[in-house]
């Protein structure tokens, strides 16, 4: 077959999905070729199809013309895993953005769903409410408009103690086989026909009956995590991205295949929820509480999010605008806000009299004019305690926690209070937006700071000294340290800004070696992207999925070359 040049390829795509859905100018491509926080690179074009069968046709052209494919949904990843990274690929590269294909099918009376390639967690949460059920993730990623499939492809963990990493063994996806041919794999457990385009069209149009949905032994969620997280004396972490237990088909695939749809379990919504706000100056008290709750409580917590006082303060100042936007305009506006910020910064770059990162500087300036947004009892605990823990219980677990907390602080440092609905919402939102604080601080003070590093580390379940005490020679090289995380799971997000002149990469390697000595795993939940080296089990999985390295090459700092050369 005669090869087309790049111009003819783009003409074909425009004819297939329409001119406005094929982006070729640098201005229009930038929101899709630059990561939300990390990584950027060149791309031949960004295509935005609205039919699954059109994605299949685009993939066929890319395979025939030897064009790299990066599948992308909401582009909300934190380690650059859904965008190009640099300009050293050995073939042209195409980004396929899937957000126009956002159908969600409710099946089995709400007990399961089928999410198509651009469907979001936010939409899924709303669709399930009438059924009295919830999706895997209901906070964090939901708020930033993240996709269902993005969570599955990264085994995203999140805050939810009872549910563990996002996982399914039921998916519909395309892969390039060892002979360089495109295959469609239907592991959805739904009879949709026999030919690729027939299968894809039937799925998108929901042209199947209840009788076509097979009862299968394949899992639609991680059914072992609630037991694993309770095993508090084990010397290995509860969850981490390279855990071979959870690498299966689309799950953990990190863009090495083209996922069209996944079939997932849903969860019964609690009748009642209650948030307990806990504070202490002694990390060992939190260690004791964690072990007691996980080993003795009948009901597992819904979540348990930790926040250090320094991170509390940074979020109060540098994440205030994000907090207010979510609180007053709702999570539906947040993806729009990020898109506006990107556009404003692109315009500002062209206007030399405006500073770099103009949108962040403007939003920070405006946030000063709003009053304190945090409740009085939280602010009192901020003054009293270094360590803060937001623990949410449900149903029978509420009285278990109430009885426990009423006694535990009689003999241990610290205190707690039960949040009312107003405080609960504020506490959870404050913890969520804290993730953006270090980035804003770094942007505003970049000229006098070194590099920023954001690491997510899974510590062993039996680790007593979970709160980091760094050696003096490392600590002296850091300008700022901010700590937050999911304490029941022993997943800590450890954010650093190094002092000006310090080699960030060398320091990062030193930090990672300290984690290795403690039996930790990393990354815990944000996946390798282009920031971490993929461990052997993960690299093996990627090569099995994508033997010719046609999809998302370079992920996990692997080879970007064809056939993994």
DSSP-assigned letters across all residues of 28-43: HHHHHHB-SSS-BB--
Note whether 46 and 93 are within 8 A (CB). no
472: helix, strand or coil: helix
CA 80 – CA 497 distance, rounded (Å) = 19
Counting every residue written for the chain, the total comes to 565
Which ranges of 354-413 would DSSP assign to H, the alpha helix? 358-367, 376-384, 396-408
- Which residues does residue 496 pair with via DSSP β-bridges, in sequence order? 453, 481
Packing angle of the helix pair 309-318, 437-444 (nearest 10 deg)? 60
What average pLDDT does the segment 268-287 reach?
A: 97
Q: What is the mean pLDDT of residues 72-82?
A: 85
Question: Residue 209, exposed/middle/buried by CB under 10 A (0-12, 13-18, 19+)?
Answer: exposed
Q: Name every residue whose Cβ is closer than 8 Å to that of residue 494 and which is 6 or more positions away in sequence.
A: 454, 455, 456, 457, 468, 481, 483, 485, 511
The three-state DSSP-derived secondary structure of 228-283 is: HCCCCCCCCCCCCCCCHHHCECCECCCCCCEEEEEEEECEECCCCEEEEEEEECCH
- Cite the DSSP H helix spans in 79-164: 121-128, 148-153
Write the CA distances from 98 to 54, 67, 112, 120, 180, integer angstroms.
11, 18, 22, 11, 23
Give 367-378 pLDDT, tens digit per residue: 999 999 999 999
Band of the pLDDT at 436, cuts 50, 70, 90?
Answer: confident
108 with 124: CB under 8 angstroms? no
Which of 87-101, 141-155, 250-264, 471-485 shows the lowest mean pLDDT across its residues?
A: 141-155
C-alpha separations of 88 from 79, 91, 93, 382, 561 in Å: 18, 9, 11, 48, 9
CB neighbours of 203 closer than 8 A, spacing ≥ 6?
Answer: 52, 114, 116, 172, 188, 190, 192, 260, 261
As a whole number of angstroms, the distance between CA 33 and CA 41 comes to 6
Q: What is the pLDDT of residue 334?
A: 65
Count of beta carbons in the 10 Å neighbourhood of residue 471: 9
CA distance 84 to 415: 48
For the whole model, what pTM was predicted? 0.93
Mean pLDDT for the stretch of residues 504-531: 93
**Segment (H or E) for 290:** helix 283-296
Show the tokens assigned to 172: 């519909």
Among 118-132, 289-303, 371-385, the minimum mean pLDDT is found in 118-132
Q: How far apart, in whole angstroms, are the C-alpha atoms of residue 361 and residue 532?
A: 30
Please state, in angstroms and rounded to a whole number, the distance separating the CA atoms of residues 543 and 563. Answer: 9
Secondary structure element (H or E) that encloses residue 555, with its range: none
What band does 139 get if pLDDT is binned at 50, 70 and 90? Answer: low
Question: Is a pLDDT exceeding 90 seen at residue 502?
Answer: yes
Given a cut of 90, is residue 350 above it in pLDDT? no
Q: Which residues have a Cβ under 8 Å from the Cβ of 32 and sit 6 or more positions away?
A: 23, 43, 46, 72, 75, 83, 95, 97
Q: In the predicted model, is pLDDT for residue 141 greater than 50?
A: no
- Counting residues of the chain whose pLDDT is more than 70, the rounded percentage is 96
The torsion angles phi and psi of 135, rounded to 5 degrees, stand at -80, 180
Indicate whether 181 pLDDT > 70.
yes
Q: What pLDDT score does 45 carry?
A: 97
pLDDT tens track for 1-54: 457 789 999 999 999 999 999 999 988 898 899 887 778 999 999 999 999 999
Per-residue pLDDT for 271 more than 90?
yes
Q: What is the mean pLDDT of residues 157-176?
A: 90
Taking the C-alpha atoms of residue 65 and residue 58, their distance in angstroms, rounded to an integer, is 11
Q: What is the CA radius of gyration of the chain?
A: 23
**Is the pLDDT assigned to residue 533 strictly greater than 50?**
yes
- When pLDDT is averaged across residues 528-537 and rounded to a whole number, the result is 93
pLDDT score for 79:
84
The mean per-residue pLDDT over the stretch 441-466 comes to 94
- What confidence score (pLDDT) does residue 160 get? 80
What is the pLDDT at residue 76?
77
Tell me the CA distances in angstroms from 60 to 96, 394, 507, one per residue in order.
13, 49, 44
> Which range is least confidently modeled, 12-16, 168-172, 351-355, 552-556?
351-355
Query: Between 358 and 227, where is the model more confident?
Result: 227
pLDDT at 158: 62
Dist CA 119 CA 64 (whole Å): 28
Cβ count within 10 A of residue 507? 19
Closest by Cα among 40, 487, 561, 545 to 257: 545
Query: Cα–Cα distance between 294 and 300 in angstroms, integer?
Result: 7
pLDDT at 331: 63
Percent of the chain past pLDDT 90, that is, above it, reads: 81
Measure CA of the first residue to CA of the last residue in the chain; give whole Å.
Answer: 25
Does an H or E element contain 194, and which? none
**Vertex 387 angle, CA 384 and 389, to 5°:** 110
- Does 144 score more than 60 pLDDT? no
Q: Is 497's pLDDT higher than 70?
A: yes
Dmax over CA atoms of the chain, in Å, equals: 79
Q: What is the mean pLDDT of residues 123-134?
A: 93
290-347 pLDDT, tens digit per residue, is 999 999 999 999 999 999 999 999 999 999 998 998 888 766 666 677 677 777 877 7
* Phi and psi torsions of 280, nearest 5°: -160, 160
Query: Taking 50 as the threshold, does the pLDDT of residue 142 lie above it?
Result: no
pLDDT value of position 333: 67
């Amino acid at each position: 077959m005669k090869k087309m040049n790049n111009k003819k390829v783009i003409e074909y795509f425009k004819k297939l999905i329409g001119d406005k859905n094929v982006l070729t100018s640098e201005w229009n491509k930038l929101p899709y070729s630059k990561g939300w926080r990390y990584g950027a690179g060149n791309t031949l074009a960004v295509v935005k199809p609205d039919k699954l069968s059109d994605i299949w046709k685009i993939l066929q052209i890319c395979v025939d013309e030897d064009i790299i494919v990066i599948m992308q949904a909401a582009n909300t990843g934190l380690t650059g895993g859904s965008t190009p990274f640099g300009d050293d690929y050995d073939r042209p590269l195409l980004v396929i953005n899937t957000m126009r294909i956002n159908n969600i099918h409710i099946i089995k009376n709400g007990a399961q769903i089928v999410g198509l390639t651009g469907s979001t967690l936010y939409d899924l949460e709303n669709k399930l409410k009438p059924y009295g059920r919830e999706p895997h993730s209901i906070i964090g990623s939901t708020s930033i408009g993240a996709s269902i499939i993005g969570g599955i492809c990264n085994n995203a963990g999140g805050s939810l103690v009872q549910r563990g990493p996002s996982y399914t063994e039921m998916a519909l996806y395309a892969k390039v086989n060892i002979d360089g041919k495109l295959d469609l794999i239907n592991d959805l457990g739904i009879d949709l026909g026999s030919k690729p385009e027939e299968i894809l069209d039937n799925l998108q149009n929901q042209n199947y009956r209840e009788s076509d949905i097979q009862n299968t032994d394949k899992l639609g969620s991680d059914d072992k995590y609630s037991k694993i997280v309770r095993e508090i004396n084990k010397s290995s972490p509860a969850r981490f991205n390279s855990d071979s237990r959870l690498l299966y088909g689309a799950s953990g695939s990190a863009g090495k295949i083209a996922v069209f749809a996944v079939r997932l379990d849903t969860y019964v919504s609690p009748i009642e929820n209650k948030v307990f706000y806990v504070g202490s100056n002694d990390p060992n008290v939190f260690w004791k509480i964690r072990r007691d709750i996980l080993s003795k409580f009948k009901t597992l917590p819904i979540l348990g999010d930790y926040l250090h006082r320094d991170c509390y303060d940074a979020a109060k100042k540098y994440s205030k605008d994000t907090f207010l936007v979510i609180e007053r305009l709702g999570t539906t506006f947040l993806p729009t806000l990020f898109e506006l910020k990107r556009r404003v910064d692109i315009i500002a770059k062209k206007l030399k009299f405006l500073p770099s990162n103009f949108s962040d500087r403007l939003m920070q300036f405006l946030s000063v004019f709003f009053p304190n947004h945090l409740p009085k009892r939280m602010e009192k605990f901020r003054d009293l305690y270094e360590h803060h823990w937001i623990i949410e219980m449900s149903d029978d677990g509420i009285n278990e926690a109430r009885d426990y907390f009423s006694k535990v602080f009689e003999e241990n440092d610290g205190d707690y209070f039960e949040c009312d609905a107003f405080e609960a919402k504020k506490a959870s939102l404050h913890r969520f937006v804290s993730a953006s604080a270090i980035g804003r601080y770094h942007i505003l003070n970049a000229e006098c700071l070194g590099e920023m590093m954001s690491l997510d580390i899974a510590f062993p379940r039996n680790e007593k000294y979970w709160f980091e005490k760094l050696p003096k020679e490392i600590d002296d090289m850091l300008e700022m340290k901010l700590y937050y995380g999911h304490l029941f799971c022993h997943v800590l997000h450890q954010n650093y800004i190094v002092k000006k002149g310090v080699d960030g990469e060398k320091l990062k390697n030193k930090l990672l070696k300290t984690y290795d000595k403690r039996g930790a795993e990393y990354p815990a939940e944000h996946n390798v992207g282009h920031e971490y080296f993929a461990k052997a089990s993960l690299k093996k999985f990627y090569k099995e999925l994508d033997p010719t390295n046609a999809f998302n090459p370079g992920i996990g700092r692997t080879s970007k070359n064809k056939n993994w050369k």
